[in-house]
Amino acid sequence: MIPVILSGGSGTRLWPLSRGQYPKQFLPLVSGNTMIQETLLRLNGMAGLQPPIAVCNEDHRFMMAEQLWEIGIKPAAIILEPMGKNTAPAVAMAALSARSDDDVLLILPADHVIADTAAFHKAIVQAEALARQDLLVTFGIVATQPETGYGYIKAGGTSMGSAFDVAAFVEKPDLATAQGYLENGGYFWNSGMFAFKAGCFLRELEKFNPEMLDVCRRALAEAKTDLDFVRLDKAIFSTCPSDSIDYAVMEKTDKAAVIPLDAGWNDVGSWSALWDVTSKDEAGNAIKGDVLSIDTVNSFIHSSNKLVAVIGVKDLVVVETDDAVMVAAKDRVQDVKVIVDRLKALKRDEAQVHRKVYRPWGHYDLVDTGDRHHTKRIVVKPGAKLSVQKHHHRAEHWVVVKGTAWVNKNGENILVTENESIYIPVGVVHSLENPGVIPLEMVEVQSGSYLGEDDIVRYQDNYGRV
């Protein structure tokens, strides 16, 4: 069985922690591990699993690779989507990349919490057995409350041991309908997790959406392979229909089966959902970071950098990051996406990036800005190298705070050590490398008439960004 990790979500309801360029699946929201890492680590102890296939946005490729490396997992492939096309094409790419049509794929979104690992493993074993009978298996979460934020799966009357055939997939209901589902039984939350043989899924996709499968085959055939990355052909993939696996296949097939899963599942789709799965103090507050609370109850308070003090509030969500503070009533957190949409309409960077921006070579933190200057803290990993580049409008002054920098300036190699600095004038071709075994920490002062990140001409790059 091959785990397939789907990592295409943007996590807008968890803004300002989750952003377009650093979405929730790459964040350590519930434990010291990120959501992607937890998705794979909870499979530990299961026999017969092959190396995973990950499918993610091309912009997230280095974060995906690094987070898998951190937990000692070498994937079979990391498939890079040049743009999001929903889950059906992503699953099709994984199925086409399997070694054999008889390989069972375990489809796992990368941003779920599952508390009872043993129950989850038991359900996976049952799902694999059904998948080998050419069934398309989904995991239906046993509902614990009327929930309007999830789609539902209605179980049919045919029992297959602990599983059932699927009578219908149901859209997100209103509260009264959801209450009826809970009272009547036989309805499960749609988890978005599946198990099926690669060939079985592809045959059903060809039956119900042949155009999608044809585009996926051609995009994969023209893909470029770079280390563990499989870069799909952008021009071809852009023509692919966008659809979920539910709409494209599961709602149409007569081979669908559902396994009830009662394992403490949560999709962490909002701040209130994260409050649900986070440990709380005696007043019902979930607190992370430097927080002082007085007479505060049933609230979620997150501090990334600054002291956050709250007095006499209840049922609030307060989230502080280095460039934003978000305060919301806990029963209005679904509307956080409205804030993100407004930021996008205003073309504000806070919708997409944090002040701290991650790059394949390390990260930088924009600590001060002005009309004609930017000041950054830059950290370069040991052995990493920035691209060979130049800028048309800005000069750069680098001060090494810790470690050693190997700088090439107009063809001249210069070693810059702690407490030394170097100046890069406008238009000069340059590169920066950390030759040491500890992180290189620098302060960079940019000055010039235009300081946008797009003022860069790359001549050579170790990360394929030329």
Residues 373-387 have pLDDT tens digits of 999 999 999 999 999
3-state secondary structure of 157: strand
Under a CB-based contact definition with an 8 Å cutoff, are residues 399 and 440 in contact?
no
pTM of the model: 0.87
Q: How far apart are CA 227 and CA 456, in angstroms?
A: 25
Helix axes 198-208, 87-97, angle to 10 degrees: 130
Q: How far apart are CA 56 and CA 5, in angstroms?
A: 8
State the average pLDDT over residues 259-276.
92
Q: How far, rounded to the nearest angstrom, does the alpha carbon of residue 154 sit from its chain's CA centroid?
A: 29
Cis amide linkage into residue 16, ω under 30° from 0: yes
Angle CA 111–113–114, to nearest 5 = 135
DSSP string for 63-93: HHHHHHHHTT---SEEEEESS---HHHHHHH
Task: State the pLDDT confidence band at 255, using cuts at 50, 70 and 90.
Answer: very high
Structural domains of the chain in order of their starting residue, each with its CATH number = 2-266 (3.90.550.10), 271-338 (no CATH), 356-460 (2.60.120.10)
3-state secondary structure of 350: helix
State the average pLDDT over residues 65-70.
92
CA distances from 298 to 146, 316, 336 (A): 20, 7, 19
Residue 111 DSSP symbol: T
Under a CB-based contact definition with an 8 Å cutoff, are residues 293 and 300 in contact?
no
State the average pLDDT over residues 26-37.
93
State the average pLDDT over residues 266-281.
92
3-state secondary structure of 466: coil
Residue 19 DSSP symbol: B
Q: Is it the case that residue 341 has pLDDT exceeding 90?
A: yes
Residues comprising the chain, all counted = 466
State the average pLDDT over residues 245-272.
93
Task: State the pLDDT confidence band at 466, using cuts at 50, 70 and 90.
Answer: low
Task: State the pLDDT confidence band at 452, using cuts at 50, 70 and 90.
Answer: confident
Q: Is it the case that residue 291 has pLDDT exceeding 90?
A: yes
Predicted local confidence at residue 407, as pLDDT: 97
Residues 92-116 have pLDDT tens digits of 999 999 999 999 999 999 989 999 9
Under a CB-based contact definition with an 8 Å cutoff, are residues 216 and 201 in contact?
no
Under a CB-based contact definition with an 8 Å cutoff, are residues 8 and 57 in contact?
yes
